[in-house]
């Protein structure tokens, strides 16, 4: 069968979500075309001849971009079988069916895609069956130079991307993983991960981003991989994502991360307010975050926290206090500027809908925005819009993070700026494509 696997956006990473199923399909004898539409055009001749066209939609932004192109692809090839797969596919199943998507796959999708191409796909959108993975086949994808780079004091590094696990043991209410995996956690076999890393290093990568929702869901698995990676390629650095509670619970592993070349750790802190953290079911408190930050600094391992500053519970006072605490903690230069304008997203199927107070404040589902709109205090909503616009303009001009933070501080009316030094961004490794949903 002729198969076209398409992605629209994956955070400036070469898509694992295309390379992994491509390996399965090609090994079974299917003719596979892959295209990352974030940095390459639609391969129209191959798309027009494809019998199966599958879009990978792992996140909200990717899904909205998918909606901009799918109709053109359907017009070009109305005879193909259309599939959407990835985290956001089952969450948006009713919408996908309305626009003519025939198959919707979530969870562990490689085996299901192979079955679909072979005409034997079973019932059920979400599969959590354990799989024996194949080494991702990145043939046909844009080179690593087309993607985000790691900026360091020593200069930029080409970045590769892989996944050593999927799903999550936890049930954070605002996370799209929760309604799909429901506490399940699946690993990619160690030899597969290392061979995938080897191929990307051979292609020029000098840094690897691990896209696991939480690298310490299976700490022994993750540590074995980075220890072996460091033995083979000691000059290659990496970054991981780890929950605050796991940084505390497995604190003895922080020196191992440093010794094996970890450049920084991303952690979804989300809020400094315990009441908000409890509503989000994050599993940590403000005090836990401060202790994790202390431990990370003691280990000389940079923490890159992400935040969700605009929720239905945000006030002008709480936002100002949030900025003041970040400045006091010396984190203003370590937080990507886009994080200061992030607003709670409530997509279809979100566990946030469990809360009566959320159900009371949302509007009907917006099929264009793919979310339930909500409104906070008018002055807070206006501030959020102003901050988002300010950050977009400033980043287009490549203004330093510290300068953007000062602009946001003034917009929020946070008072006199404290007389404290802000960390120079150049001393903290960071990716040129910041994390967001």
pLDDT single digits (tens) 32-57 = 999 999 999 999 999 999 999 999 99
Mean confidence (pLDDT) of the chain: 95
Tell how far CA 162 is from the center of its chain. Answer: 12
Tokens 């299976």 belong to 218
Short-list 243, 239, 251, 293, CA closest to 268:
243
Q: Do the Cβ atoms of 62 and 8 come closer than 8 Å?
A: yes
pLDDT single digits (tens) 302-316 = 999 999 999 999 999
Range in 21-30, 60-69, 152-161, 415-424 with the lowest mean pLDDT: 415-424
Amino acid 177: pLDDT: 97
Mean pLDDT of 104-109: 97
Amino acid 258: pLDDT: 98
pLDDT at 224 over 80: yes
Short-list 38, 45, 103, 37, CA closest to 77:
45
- The fraction of the chain above a pLDDT of 90, given in percent, is 91
Q: Phi and psi dihedrals of 223, rounded to 5?
A: -65, -40
Q: Do the Cβ atoms of 285 and 335 come closer than 8 Å?
A: no
List CB contacts of 343: < 8 A, sequence separation 6 or more. Answer: 308, 310, 311, 384
Mean pLDDT of 98-108: 97
Range in 32-36, 157-161, 163-167, 391-395 with the lowest mean pLDDT: 391-395
CA max distance for the chain: 66
Q: How confident is the model at residue 124 (pLDDT cuts 50, 70, 90)?
A: confident
Q: How confident is the model at residue 425 (pLDDT cuts 50, 70, 90)?
A: low
pLDDT at 429 over 80: yes
Range in 252-256, 288-292, 420-424 with the lowest mean pLDDT: 420-424
Q: How far apart are CA 127 and CA 110, in angstroms?
A: 10
Q: Do the Cβ atoms of 66 and 37 come closer than 8 Å?
A: no
Amino acid 235: pLDDT: 98
Q: How far apart are CA 61 and CA 174, in angstroms?
A: 16
pLDDT at 436 over 60: no
pTM of the model: 0.96
């Amino acid at each position: 069968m002729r198969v076209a696997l398409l992605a629209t956006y994956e955070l400036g990473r070469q898509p694992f979500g295309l390379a992994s199923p491509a390996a399965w399909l090609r090994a079974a004898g299917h003719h596979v075309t892959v295209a990352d539409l974030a940095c390459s055009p639609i391969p129209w001749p191959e798309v027009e001849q494809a019998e199966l066209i599958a879009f990978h939609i792992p996140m909200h932004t990717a899904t909205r971009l998918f909606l901009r192109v799918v109709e053109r692809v359907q017009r070009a090839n109305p005879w193909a079988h259309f599939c959407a797969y990835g985290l956001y596919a089952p969450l948006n199943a009713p919408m996908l069916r309305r626009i003519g998507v025939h198959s919707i796959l979530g969870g562990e999708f490689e085996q299901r895609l192979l079955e679909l191409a072979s005409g034997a796909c079973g019932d059920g959108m979400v599969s959590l069956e354990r799989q024996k993975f194949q080494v991702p086949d990145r043939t046909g994808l844009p080179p690593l130079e087309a993607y985000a780079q790691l900026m360091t004091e020593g200069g930029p590094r080409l970045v590769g991307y892989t996944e050593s696990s999927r799903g999550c043991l936890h049930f954070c209410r605002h996370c799209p993983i929760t309604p799909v995996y429901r506490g399940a956690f699946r690993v990619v076999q160690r030899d597969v991960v290392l061979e995938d890393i080897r191929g990307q290093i051979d292609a020029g990568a000098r840094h690897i981003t691990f896209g696991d929702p939480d690298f310490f869901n299976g700490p022994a698995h993750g540590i074995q991989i980075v220890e072996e990676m460091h033995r083979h390629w000691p000059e290659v650095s990496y970054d991981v994502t780890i929950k605050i509670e796991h940084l505390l619970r497995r604190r003895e592993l922080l020196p191992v991360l440093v010794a094996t070349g970890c450049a920084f750790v991303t952690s979804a802190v989300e809020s400094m307010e315990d009441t908000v953290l409890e509503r989000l079911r994050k599993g940590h408190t403000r005090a836990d975050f401060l202790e994790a930050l202390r431990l990370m600094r003691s280990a000389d391992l940079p923490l890159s926290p992400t935040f969700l500053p605009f929720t239905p519970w945000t006030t002008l006072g709480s936002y100002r206090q949030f900025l003041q605490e970040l400045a006091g903690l010396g984190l203003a230069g370590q937080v990507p500027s886009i994080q200061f304008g992030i607003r709670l997203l409530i997509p279809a199927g979100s566990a946030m809908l469990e809360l009566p107070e959320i159900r009371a404040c949302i509007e009907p589902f917006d099929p264009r925005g793919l979310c339930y709109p909500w409104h906070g205090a008018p002055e807070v909503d206006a501030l959020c819009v102003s901050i988002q616009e300010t950050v977009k303009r400033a980043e287009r001009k490549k203004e330093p993070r510290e300068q953007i933070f000062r602009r946001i501080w003034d917009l929020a009316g946070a008072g006199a700026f404290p007389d404290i030094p802000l960390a120079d961004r150049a001393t903290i490794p960071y990716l040129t494509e910041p994390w967001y949903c």
